[in-house]
Amino acid sequence: MEMNQDSSNISLGQKQLLTIALAILANPKILILDEATSSIDTRLELLIQKAMKRLMKGRTSFVIARCLYTIQEANNILVLKDGQIIEQGNYESSLQAKGFLL
């Protein structure tokens, strides 16, 4: 398959995979991921999350997520509501506090 100039002949999931691959190749010190796997099927998502875990190791990463399992291993989770931080901690502390994430 050949991708055309404006990439209109590939799916959203394929576009996300290409974007993630480019991020891996760029090897940035800071990584920002906004719903990085939202258009990918569950099987591929698990594989990509493993790869992203390795990619994020040793660098500052900001992950914008709506699914809690996406950020379970984060060192620090900030919950924003109306532009304000309403909760901060890790996954375990949020579970224990029965916080906003649950």
Whether residues 39 and 3 share a domain: the answer is yes
Whether residues 65 and 87 share a domain: the answer is no
Residue 96 belongs to domain spanning: 72-102
Whether residues 89 and 102 share a domain: the answer is yes
Whether residues 61 and 78 share a domain: the answer is no
pLDDT digit string (tens) for 13-28? Answer: 778 778 878 888 898 8
pLDDT digit string (tens) for 37-89? Answer: 666 777 777 777 777 777 788 888 888 887 777 788 888 988 888 999 988 88
pTM above 0.75, yes or no: no
Nearest Cα residue to 20 out of 39, 38, 33: 33
CATH number at residue 55: 3.40.50.300
Measured CA to CA, the distance from residue 94 to residue 102 in angstroms comes to: 8
